[in-house]
Amino acid sequence: MNNITNKINTLRQAVAEARITVSDPATLEAIRQGTVPKGNVFEMSRAAGLLAIKKTSDVIPDCHPLPVEYAAIQSEIRGDQIHIEVEVHAIYRTGVEVEAMHGAAVTALTMYDMLKPIDKGVEIGTIRLVKKKGGKSQFRDHLHLDLQAAVVVCSDSVSAGSKADKAGLAIREKLEQWEVKVSQYTVIPDEPDAIRKAVAEYTGADGADLLLFTGGTGLSPRDITPETIQPLLDREIPGVMEAARKYGQDRTPFAMLSRGVAGMIGKTLVLTLPGSTNGARETMDALFPYVLHIFRVAQGMRHDA
């Protein structure tokens, strides 16, 4: 199974459909009249399809068990076909399209089993995914803005050359995954003046779109990044780091100790991330690509545009 522990829970939705074609018009009339020998075709197949949705991970090895929070199956006769539509919702880390298609397949197969004694020509047709929503593919903003980022590593040891930087490189790698170009990358000591100088250099009219600091968000005596940057913010965005800490807390009980802040300085989004490689990487997973929606809002676009 794929590792999905780095993903966040979002509302996942999928709609799938299946088609059954009958060879004898009398078959459709038997369905309408409720005279099929094996019982009510629509109700029996609906029950089987709902069970299939919930049991998908039991029969398809690479599917993750997930909490199905809504499932609906609608079947109707159109011409010489029976149209089946299955909709599934879940709030989870992975999509529900296979669950919807599995439900459609088993609904169709149940109908086939019930109808074959009276119609030897009944056929199961196309089973396909109609649409899906949720996850990073939905929330990624395709703004084509050529976003530029500056990454600043705040670390006495890295600045002194006694330790190699890993957190900054992890942030850079994550940014490149989301097509954000890292135009500036620098290492500074844990000094307020150095931090303020970096803020002044990378914000303003010609500054970066994103300015990411890594390091100095903990509770050691030299950790002063948040209190240095917070007074410089034009507008703080508390929910950003609340989301990051919630994501981290689900993975380690020490995430609550991070004091990172986030906000806008002019047109620049400023984020302060932990100095540990894992903490920086997890914060990036928690925030991206969703935080890029800020640049849609900054352009005056609707949230749902």
- How far, in Å, CA of 131 to CA of 74, rounded? 16
Name the active-site residue from 24, 113, 156, 250. 113
Structure tokens at 173: 């790698």
Provide CB contacts within 8 A for 51, sequence distance 6+: 106
- How far, in Å, CA of 235 to CA of 288, rounded? 20
| Residue 113 is among the residues annotated as catalytic for this protein | yes
Measuring CA to CA, how many Å separate 164 from each of 158, 160, 217?
Answer: 6, 10, 19
Provide CB contacts within 8 A for 100, sequence distance 6+: 14, 15, 16, 53, 86, 87, 88, 129
Distance of CA 25 to the CA centre of its chain: 46
- How far, in Å, CA of 113 to CA of 110, rounded? 5
The radius of gyration computed from the CA coordinates of the chain, to the nearest angstrom, equals 27
Task: Name the residues annotated as catalytic.
Answer: 113
